[in-house]
Amino acid sequence: MPDGRRQPYRRRWDGGVRSLEAGQDHARGLTVVLVPGLGALGCLLDTLAGCAGWARSFLLDVPGFGHRPPRPCAAGTPAIADTVSGWRDAVVGDAPVVLVGHSTGARAALRVAARESGRVRALVLMGPTFPPEQRRLPGLLRGSVRDLRREPLGLLPATVPYYLRGGRRELTRLIRSARRDEPERTITEVRCPTLLVRGEHDAFAPREWVQRLAAAAPHAWSATVPGAHNFPFRRGGPTAALVAQAARRAGRTG
């Protein structure tokens, strides 16, 4: 199972979508698919490495802030979800995947799982944004201030280059799209085992909000871990262990 050791990854392109692939097919035949928040792959590289110890794993570069244009999709939750589905069809086929989304990426992963639950073995939503009070600008700004005070300085070089490459306009479009989304409605349609995880200081995913989402799905549960919103950063082993936990539960119930 996950040991947190860094694994080398391979860059690949499939249907215009760039991804980082790590690990090999293992006896259990699991494939993990990671969807980043705000297009910042740097926050999930450690998690990719951790999952690679026990499953073939992919980190998708959506909406494409990890490379120059053209990008695979528009910077918005529906477009990212459609792109993840199309990529999965091309690369994994009908085999069910363990789908993991972080932050705004959790919104896209949730949409995929809701409409294609038979092809998602387990779903992991890490720091799912935004509670209703943050769907207006004042609430979002308050949450940003509270969370940023708890984030490590080392996170900046792992995320800012992606934000700069994406550009202010596309970042704003992506955040607005996530704020218009209503995951409390979407999650009621998910039928696979679903784990919701938040950092204990995560201001974008408050405890009450995550518990509300977990209560709305038939096979969901929640966990709180050390850290703030970007808790997966430099915690690849523990985060991959949570993903493995969801995969094991799916194996027992599937």
Q: Which CATH architecture group holds 10-253? A: 3-Layer(aba) Sandwich (3.40)
Q: How many Å apart are CA 36 and CA 47, to the nearest integer?
A: 11
Residue 226 has pLDDT above 90, yes or no: yes
Q: Dig out the tokens for 167 from the structure.
A: 């550009």
End-to-end CA distance of the chain: give it in Å, rounded.
19
pLDDT tens digits for 54-112? 999 999 999 999 999 999 999 999 999 999 999 999 999 989 999 999 999 999 999 99
Over range 31-54, report the average pLDDT. Answer: 96
Q: Give the chain's radius of gyration (CA, Å).
A: 16
Q: What is the mean predicted confidence (pLDDT) over 132-137?
A: 91
Residue-wise pLDDT for 152-173, tens only, equals 999 999 999 999 999 999 999 9
Predicted pLDDT at 26: 64
DSSP SS3 for 194: strand
Q: Where are the alpha helices (DSSP H) in 103-221?
A: 104-115, 137-148, 155-166, 168-180, 183-186, 207-216
The domain ranges of the chain are 10-253
- 3-23 pLDDT, tens digit each: 344 447 999 999 999 999 999
| Closest C-alpha among 13, 23, 32 to residue 232 | 32
Q: Which amino acid is at 18?
A: R
Helix (H, G, I), strand (E, B) or coil at 229: coil
Task: Give one DSSP letter per residue of 124-150, joined into a string.
Answer: EEES----GGGSSHHHHHHHHHHHHTT
State whether residue 96 is helix, strand or coil. coil
